[in-house]
Amino acid sequence: MAESVKDKVIAIIAEQAVLEPSDVKDDASLEDLGIDSLGLVEAIFAIEETFDISVPFNANEPEKSEFDVSSISAIVSAVEKLIAEQSGS
Protein backbone atom coordinates (compact mmCIF):
# COMPACT_ATOMS: atom_id res chain seq x y z
CA MET A 1 0.00 0.00 0.00
CA ALA A 2 1.28 3.43 -0.89
CA GLU A 3 2.23 5.77 1.91
CA SER A 4 -0.57 8.09 2.96
CA VAL A 5 -0.29 11.87 2.78
CA LYS A 6 -0.01 11.86 6.54
CA ASP A 7 2.90 9.40 6.53
CA LYS A 8 4.76 11.45 3.96
CA VAL A 9 4.20 14.74 5.77
CA ILE A 10 5.34 13.19 9.04
CA ALA A 11 8.43 11.79 7.35
CA ILE A 12 9.31 15.29 6.07
CA ILE A 13 8.75 16.88 9.48
CA ALA A 14 10.68 14.10 11.23
CA GLU A 15 13.67 14.56 8.95
CA GLN A 16 13.65 18.29 9.63
CA ALA A 17 13.41 17.72 13.39
CA VAL A 18 16.00 14.90 13.29
CA LEU A 19 13.47 12.55 14.98
CA GLU A 20 11.99 9.16 14.22
CA PRO A 21 8.58 9.49 12.48
CA SER A 22 7.02 7.63 15.43
CA ASP A 23 8.10 10.49 17.70
CA VAL A 24 6.18 13.08 15.67
CA LYS A 25 2.78 13.24 17.36
CA ASP A 26 -0.39 14.63 15.73
CA ASP A 27 -0.91 17.36 18.28
CA ALA A 28 2.71 18.50 18.43
CA SER A 29 3.55 22.02 17.30
CA LEU A 30 6.63 22.79 15.21
CA GLU A 31 8.04 24.57 18.22
CA ASP A 32 7.60 21.40 20.30
CA LEU A 33 9.67 19.57 17.69
CA GLY A 34 12.40 22.21 17.68
CA ILE A 35 11.73 23.38 14.11
CA ASP A 36 12.60 27.05 13.61
CA SER A 37 11.46 29.39 10.84
CA LEU A 38 14.24 28.32 8.49
CA GLY A 39 13.37 24.68 9.15
CA LEU A 40 9.73 25.42 8.42
CA VAL A 41 10.40 26.94 5.00
CA GLU A 42 12.60 23.98 4.14
CA ALA A 43 9.82 21.58 5.20
CA ILE A 44 7.31 23.50 3.09
CA PHE A 45 9.68 23.23 0.13
CA ALA A 46 9.89 19.47 0.65
CA ILE A 47 6.09 19.23 0.88
CA GLU A 48 5.71 21.18 -2.38
CA GLU A 49 8.22 18.92 -4.11
CA THR A 50 6.73 15.70 -2.74
CA PHE A 51 3.10 16.43 -3.60
CA ASP A 52 3.65 18.72 -6.57
CA ILE A 53 1.56 21.43 -5.00
CA SER A 54 2.04 25.10 -4.27
CA VAL A 55 1.76 26.04 -0.59
CA PRO A 56 0.57 29.58 0.15
CA PHE A 57 2.85 30.64 2.96
CA ASN A 58 4.58 33.89 3.84
CA ALA A 59 7.19 33.61 6.58
CA ASN A 60 6.61 37.27 7.50
CA GLU A 61 3.12 36.54 8.79
CA PRO A 62 2.70 32.81 9.27
CA GLU A 63 -0.41 33.27 11.39
CA LYS A 64 -2.20 35.03 8.50
CA SER A 65 -1.22 32.43 5.92
CA GLU A 66 -3.96 30.18 4.58
CA PHE A 67 -1.67 27.27 5.36
CA ASP A 68 -2.24 26.29 8.99
CA VAL A 69 0.99 25.19 10.66
CA SER A 70 -0.26 25.23 14.26
CA SER A 71 0.12 21.44 14.69
CA ILE A 72 1.09 18.34 12.74
CA SER A 73 -2.54 17.33 12.21
CA ALA A 74 -3.33 20.87 10.97
CA ILE A 75 -0.46 20.65 8.47
CA VAL A 76 -1.64 17.24 7.24
CA SER A 77 -5.20 18.51 6.77
CA ALA A 78 -3.96 21.58 4.95
CA VAL A 79 -1.82 19.50 2.64
CA GLU A 80 -4.73 17.13 1.89
CA LYS A 81 -6.92 20.14 1.10
CA LEU A 82 -4.31 21.63 -1.24
CA ILE A 83 -3.87 18.31 -3.04
CA ALA A 84 -7.62 18.08 -3.59
CA GLU A 85 -7.81 21.68 -4.82
CA GLN A 86 -4.77 21.53 -7.05
CA SER A 87 -5.07 18.04 -8.55
CA GLY A 88 -6.09 17.88 -12.15
CA SER A 89 -5.63 21.59 -12.60
Partner 1 sequence: MKRVVITGQGTVNALGMNVPDTLEAMREGQCGIGPLEIRDVDRLAIQIGGQVKGYDPGAEFNRQQIVLYDRFTQFTLLSAREAIAQSGLNFIGDLAARSGVVLGNSGGGMNTLDENYRTVYEAGKNRVHPFVVPKLMNNAAASHVSMEFNLKGPTFTVATACASSNHAMGQAFQFIRSGMAEVMITGGSESMLCFGGVKAWEGLRVMSKDACRPFSANRNGMVQGEGAAIFVFEEYEHAKARGAEIIAEVIGFAMTSDAADIVMPSKQNAARTMELAMRDAGVNPEEVGYINAHGTGTAANDKTECAAVADALGHHANDLMISSTKSMHGHLIGGTGAVELLACTMALKDRVIAPTIGYEEPDPECALDVVPNTARDAEVDVVLSNAFAFGGLNAVLALRRV
Could you say whether residue 49 binds partner 1 (CB under 8 A)?
A: yes
Burial of 1 (0-12, 13-18, 19+ CB in 10 A): exposed
Segment (H or E) for 42: helix 37-51
In the list 6, 19, 21, 42, the residue contacting partner 1 (rule: CB under 8 A) is 42
Would you say 50 or 70 has its CB closer to partner 1? 50
Q: Measured between alpha carbons, how far is residue 19 from residues 14, 60, 64 in Å?
A: 5, 27, 28
Identify the residue among 5, 41, 67, 68 touching partner 1 (CB under 8 A).
Answer: 41
Based on the shown chain and the rule CB under 8 A, indicate whether residue 48 belongs to the binding site for partner 1: yes
Q: Which residues bind partner 1 (CB under 8 A)?
A: 18, 38, 41-42, 44-45, 48-49
